[in-house]
Amino acid sequence: MPLSTPDLLNAIIENVERVIVGKRPAVEMAVVALLCEGHILVEDVPGIGKTTLCRAIARSIACSFRRIQLTPDVLPSDVTGLYFFNQRSCDFEFRAGPIFANLVLVDEVNRATPRTQSALLECMEERQVTVDGETHPLCRPFLVIATQNPVELEGTFPLPEAQLDRFLLKIEMGYPSEDEEVEMVLRFEEASPLERLQPVASTEQLLQLQKEARAVHVDPAVRGYAVQVARATRTHPAVQLGASPRATLALYRAAQARALLEGRHFVLPDDVKRMAPAVLGHRLILDPQARLRGKLPGSILEELLHDIPVPVEESYQPSAISRRL
């Protein structure tokens, strides 16, 4: 018997949690990105489990998966592919690179040179690759999960704003608690549970979930609230570069996915508030004076969310469409 939408989403989360201990908020954020077909940037210190989280997500979905380990000597053709001369056919043939997969893990993305990083721009936005004037569409769904280490600066190349803007959201995992770390040691005592992880959802099921997420109802008042939150970042005195229109659309879709994850067919203002830090935080460039004063994107977004009036129940009617999944 096919699983219902809430049961299927919960199965994916629980499957990942067989490997990742005590990080349900991060896992839920990753599932939101899956529902939006949006790319994920996982940033945290070494040894937290960034790559393990990405691999666990990939193993939970029965789709094609490739891993790209980026280093300064990796060329754009190593990512996208290239044309080579086939002596048997006496013709040039295209050899697809590892980017041609449903789910691509780009490990340590900030270790690649700007030239190689730029090779991902077209892939992430247009879902296609252009090599030698020929355009090749990527398979759908297509998601990039990139990891980076924020503490190592030597041999790294910071991601440009255009690339950061293409990530739907950024996830930070943090250290586990003492009890969670004990549980982690027990799970990994004999062998990694990642090796025994089996898929719980197919590619077709993921595509259907994405279709359902896009169909989640958003009341005009809530839609206007999401737009106001994104636009407010552009006029804040501490922000040099605010959220782009792409970020507004990302926040809108992420709120829809969050509502679906909660088992609702409609979006609440709380969905927008919960997703705003992860969706908008990495896109903001702060004024130098604000950075010197210790301002962080998270604190600015918290201030904006506090100041912008939240739509009240009289201005929208979720009860009229409160049918559960």
Tens of pLDDT along 130-150? 988 889 999 889 999 998 887
Condensed to tens digits (0 to 9), the pLDDT of residues 78-127 reads 999 988 878 787 788 888 999 999 999 999 999 999 999 988 999 999 99
Q: How many CB atoms lie within 10 A of CB 128?
A: 12
Task: Verify that 122 and 228 share a domain, yes or no.
Answer: no
Q: What would the pLDDT profile of 23-33 be if each residue is shown by its tens digit?
A: 899 999 999 99
Q: For residue 286, report the phi and psi dihedrals to the nearest 5 degrees.
A: -85, 155
| Residues 242 and 141 occupy one common structural domain | no
The 10 Å CB-count burial string (b at 16+, else e) for 148-170 is: bbeeeeeebbebeeebebbbbbb
- Final residue of a structural domain among 157, 179, 210: 210
Residues 202 and 232 in one domain: no
For the chain, strand residue ranges (E) read 39-43, 61-62, 65-69, 81-86, 91-96, 103-107, 128-131, 134-137, 143-148, 167-171, 201-202, 239-241, 285-286
pLDDT of residue 48: 83
17 lies in which domain range? 5-210
Q: Are 184 and 134 in contact (CB under 8 A)?
A: no
Q: Which CATH number do you get for residue 249? A: 1.10.8.80
Q: What is the CATH number of the domain that holds 112?
A: 3.40.50.300
2 pLDDT tier (thresholds 50, 70, 90): low
Q: Clarify whether residues 47 and 175 are in a common domain.
A: yes
Q: Are residues 188 and 260 in the same domain?
A: no
- Residue 179 sits in the same domain as residue 54: yes
Q: What is the DSSP string of 184-224?
A: HHHHTSSS-GGGG----EEHHHHHHHHHHHHTSB--HHHHH
Range scoring the smallest mean pLDDT among 207-221, 253-267, 281-295: 281-295
* Contact in structure between 213 and 255 (CB atoms under 8 Å): no
**C-alpha angle 156-276-151 in degrees, rounded to nearest 5:** 20
Q: How far is CA 295 from CA 37, 66, 228, in A?
A: 31, 38, 21
Q: Are residues 262 and 281 in the same domain?
A: yes
User: Mean per-residue pLDDT for 185-197?
Assistant: 84
Structural Rg of the chain based on CA atoms: 21
pLDDT of 321 strictly over 60: no
Q: Of 210, 227, 245, which residue constitutes the final position of a domain? A: 210
Q: How many CB atoms lie within 10 A of CB 110?
A: 21
What percent of the chain has pLDDT above 90?
50
Residue 192 phi/psi, 5° resolution? -70, 125
End-to-end CA distance of the chain: 16
Asked if 286 and 177 sit in the same domain, the reply is no
Choose one of 210, 229, 252: the last residue of a domain. Answer: 210
Helix H or strand E segment including 124: helix 114-126
Percent of the chain beyond pLDDT 70?
94
Do both 107 and 80 map to the same domain? Answer: yes
Rounded to 5°, angle at Cα 275 from 166 and 60 = 75
pLDDT at 86: 80
pTM: 0.89
Domain count, the chain: 2
Residues 186 and 220 in one domain: no
Q: Name 295's Cβ contacts closer than 8 Å, sequence gap at least 6.
A: 238, 286
- At which residue do the structure tokens 């789910």 appear? 103
Specify whether 121 is located in the same domain as 230.
Answer: no
Q: Please indicate, yes or no, whether residues 239 and 203 belong to a single structural domain of this protein.
A: no
At residue 304, does pLDDT exceed 90?
A: yes
What's residue 315's pLDDT? 57
- Cβ-contact 325, 265 below 8 angstroms: yes
Buried b (16+ CB within 10 A) or exposed e, 81-109: bbeeeeeeeeeeeeeebbbbbbbbbbbbb
